[in-house]
Chains A and B, each alone.
Chain A
Amino acid sequence: MTKKRLDLTFPPRQSLKPVVYHLVKDYDIVPNILRAQIQPGQEGRMLVEVTGAKEAIAQGIGFLEAQGLTVREAASDIRLDEDRCVTCGLCTAVCRPKALVLSGEDLVFDKDRCVYCEACVVACPRRAISLTF
C-alpha cells in the first residue's frame, strides 16, 4: 500500500463532478480529504491523502487528469517566518496531531503528521505561521 498527499485544482466547470466517488469505486483508493475549497462555477482546491495500491494510485491520478484536474503532490503548505518566530512553543500546545513539537529548545515540524487544521496559524502570538493553500 502507498500513501500520498495530493493537491488537486479543479477547473471551474469541473467542480461538481464526484471524482472522489470514482477514486473509491473504480480504483479502490481510500481518500482522506484534509482541506477543500469547492464553489460551483469557480476554481476549486482540495488537499487529499490517498491510500491504495501503487498502481491504482497512478491510474487514479491519470483519471483525475483526464477529467481536467491539475494534480500535484502536496508541497509544504505550512510556512514558518523564522524572523518573526520567537520559539515560544505555543503552536505545539494547540497542535493535536503533534506535527509541531519542541525538541529541546527548537521547534520541529513533521509535515506528514500535519492535517492543515490551522490551529497553529490562529494561535501563534507572533503571526509567524501561514498556510499556503
Chain B
Amino acid sequence: MAKTLEEINARIATGSAVVMTAEEFAEIAAAEGLKKAAKRVDVVTTGTFGPMCSSGVFLNFGHADPPIKMGEITLNDVPASGGLAAVDTFLGATEPSLTRGIEYGGAHVIEDLIRGHAVRLKARGHGTDCYPRTEIDTWITLDDLNQAYFFNPRNAYQNYAVAVNSSDRTLYTYLGPLHPHFGNATYCSAGALSPLLNDPLYRTIGVGTRCFVAGAPGFVAWEGTQHNPNQERDEHGVPVKPAGTLAVIADLKQARSEFFSAATMVGYGVSCFVGIGVPIPVLDEELAATLALTDADITATVFDYGVQRRARPAVGTATYAELRSGAIEIKGKKVPTGPISSLKVARRIAETLKSWVAEGGFTLTAPVQPLPQAGSQGVKPLEVRTEEAI
C-alpha cells in the first residue's frame, strides 16, 4: 500500500515514524518480504563518506576598518577566489597551498575551520574611495565569520568506477596508487548505503531535498556537475557506471570534523572526504525494491587507468560484495581490491541521520524540482578547437 510524504512527516513530527538504515531495511525485507517491509518502514537512511573533490565553501569575513576590497586572498597560504564582492570568497577544497603544495590545501583549511582552529587571512586590495585599505594580514576563526557555508558542486556520485592499471608502472590517481599489470583495484562507493543508488530513478531526491552534509543539516541545491542520468542501468534501474550526482549546500558552522576530513592523494592532489546522507521515504513497493538491494545486487564497472585517455576501456564488472571480499577477477587474473570510501563512517552517517529523523523531528521534503531524468542532457566532452571551427 502506498504512503504519502505527508503521512510520513506526520509520524516523524510525533516521533512515531519507523526509520531504518538501508542495510537494516535490506535485512527486514529479506526476512519479512518486500510488501511487509514497505508497509512497516517509513523512512530509510543512507550515507556515504568518500573523497569528493568538487567541494568548497563560501565565506564572508566582515569588513575591517578602514575596509578593503579583497583580491589575492589566501587562507593559511591557500589561494581563495577574489572574484566576488569585497569580503566574500569561495575556497575550493582542492586548491593547494602556495608554500606546502598538496600536503595542505583548501580542504585542510576547511577542516581547520570546523575544528575551531585560527586561520591566517591575507589579502590585497587596489584601494578605492569606498575601500581605501590596500592590504590586510589577520587571523580568523569560524565563529568570527558572518556566513560560512558549503556549496559542493558535485557530491554523492551514483556509483563509481573501479580502477585498475594495465601499464608497466605504478600510476598515482584520484583513486589512489594503482599497481602495474593489474596489481590492485580500487573502488569508491558506499554501495548499498549510497544515497543515489537507493533511489536510482531520482523519485524522492531532487532540488530542495533535506539531507545530511558533513554533519550539518543541508539541502540538495541542484543537480551535481557531470550528472549523467543516461548511463547504462541494470534490471533494477541501477546504473552500473558513474551516473547521477548532487550539488549540496549546508552551514559550515554546524559541520562536524568527524564527517569532513581533508585528504592528500599521493601524486595527485588535495581532496576531502565529505559525509553525505539522504533520508528516503518508503512511498511504495517499487521504491522499497531498490532500497532493499544489497552490495551483492549492485554492479560497478572496472576501467583501465593504464590507458590515459578520456574514454578509458572497461575491462570487466564486479558487484560491491565481490569488491568487499578483497579480490576480484579481471581477465582471468585474481586482483586484490581496496576501497577509498569508508564503510565505517558511511554507517555512522546513516545511523546519525536515522536518529535525526526518528527522534529529532527531521522531516522530509519532496523535491521542489526533480533532477534531470534519463533522456535529458548527459555528459558532454570538451573539444579542443579554434573559434572558426564552431
Q: Within the complex, which residue of B103, B183, B186 is in contact with A90, where a contact is CB–CB below 8 Å?
A: B186
B352 located at the interface, meaning its Cβ lies under 8 Å from any Cβ of chain A in the complex = no
| Complex Cα–Cα for A98 and B262 (A) | 26
Contact A94 B176 (CB under 8 A): yes
| Complex Cα–Cα for A6 and B237 (A) | 57
Contact B342 A86 (CB under 8 A): yes
Interface flags for A71-112 (1: CB within 8 Å of B; 0: not) read 000000000000000111111111110100110111000000
Q: Quick one: closest A residue to B263, CB to CB? A: A125
B318 located at the interface, meaning its Cβ lies under 8 Å from any Cβ of chain A in the complex = no
Chain A, interface residues (CB within 8 Å), range: 20 to 34
Interface flags for B243-281 (1: CB within 8 Å of A; 0: not) read 000000000000000000111111000010100000000
Contact B273 A123 (CB under 8 A): no
Contact A88 B342 (CB under 8 A): yes
Q: Quick one: closest A residue to B183, CB to CB? A: A96
Question: Which residues from chain A contact B51 at a C-beta distance below 8 Å?
Answer: 88, 125
| Complex Cα–Cα for A37 and B254 (A) | 48
Contacts A125-B51, A125-B263, A127-B264: A94 and B343 contacting too (C-beta < 8 A)? no
A131 located at the interface, meaning its Cβ lies under 8 Å from any Cβ of chain B in the complex = no
A123 to chain B, nearest CB (A): 5
Question: Which residues from chain B contact A22 at a C-beta distance below 8 Å?
Answer: none
Contact B336 A123 (CB under 8 A): no
Subset of 13 A-B contacts with CB under 8 Å: A89-B340, A89-B343, A90-B176, A90-B339, A92-B338, A93-B184, A93-B186, A93-B338, A93-B340, A94-B184, A94-B338, A105-B347, A123-B176
Nearest first, the 4 closest Cβ-Cβ pairs linking A and B are A93-B338, A125-B263, A105-B344, A89-B339
| Complex Cα–Cα for A122 and B183 (A) | 17
A119 located at the interface, meaning its Cβ lies under 8 Å from any Cβ of chain B in the complex = yes
Contact A123 B177 (CB under 8 A): yes
Contact A88 B177 (CB under 8 A): no
Question: Known contacts A88-B50, A101-B326, A127-B264; can you find 18 more A-B pairs with CB under 8 A?
Answer: A86-B261, A86-B273, A90-B339, A91-B338, A93-B185, A93-B336, A93-B338, A93-B339, A94-B177, A95-B338, A102-B338, A104-B343, A122-B177, A123-B176, A125-B176, A125-B271, A126-B262, A127-B103
Question: Which residues from chain B contact A98 at a C-beta distance below 8 Å?
Answer: 336
Interface residue count on the B side (C-beta < 8 Å): 32
Q: Quick one: closest B residue to A88, CB to CB? A: B342
| Complex Cα–Cα for A125 and B108 (A) | 12
Question: Which residues from chain A contact B338 at a C-beta distance below 8 Å?
Answer: 89-95, 102
Q: Quick one: closest A residue to B345, CB to CB? A: A86
Contact A105 B343 (CB under 8 A): yes
| Complex Cα–Cα for A61 and B212 (A) | 58
Question: Which residues from chain A contact B25 at a C-beta distance below 8 Å?
Answer: none
Q: Quick one: closest B residue to A98, CB to CB? A: B336
Q: Within the complex, which residue of A94, A104, A126 is in contact with B179, where a contact is CB–CB below 8 Å?
A: A94
B389 to chain A, nearest CB (A): 40
Contact B339 A88 (CB under 8 A): yes
B151 located at the interface, meaning its Cβ lies under 8 Å from any Cβ of chain A in the complex = no
Q: Within the complex, which residue of B49, B186, B263, B347 is in contact with A126, where a contact is CB–CB below 8 Å?
A: B263
B97 located at the interface, meaning its Cβ lies under 8 Å from any Cβ of chain A in the complex = no
Question: Which residues from chain B contact A122 at a C-beta distance below 8 Å?
Answer: 177, 266
Contacts A93-B186, A93-B336, A101-B326: A88 and B271 contacting too (C-beta < 8 A)? no
B294 located at the interface, meaning its Cβ lies under 8 Å from any Cβ of chain A in the complex = no
Contact A102 B264 (CB under 8 A): no
Question: Which residues from chain A contact B264 at a C-beta distance below 8 Å?
Answer: 125, 127
Contacts A93-B176, A93-B186, A125-B51: A106 and B344 contacting too (C-beta < 8 A)? yes
Q: Within the complex, which residue of B324, B337, B343, B347 is in contact with A93, where a contact is CB–CB below 8 Å?
A: B337
| Complex Cα–Cα for A43 and B342 (A) | 41
| Complex Cα–Cα for A90 and B266 (A) | 11
| Complex Cα–Cα for A92 and B187 (A) | 12
Q: Quick one: closest A residue to B185, CB to CB? A: A93
B303 to chain A, nearest CB (A): 15
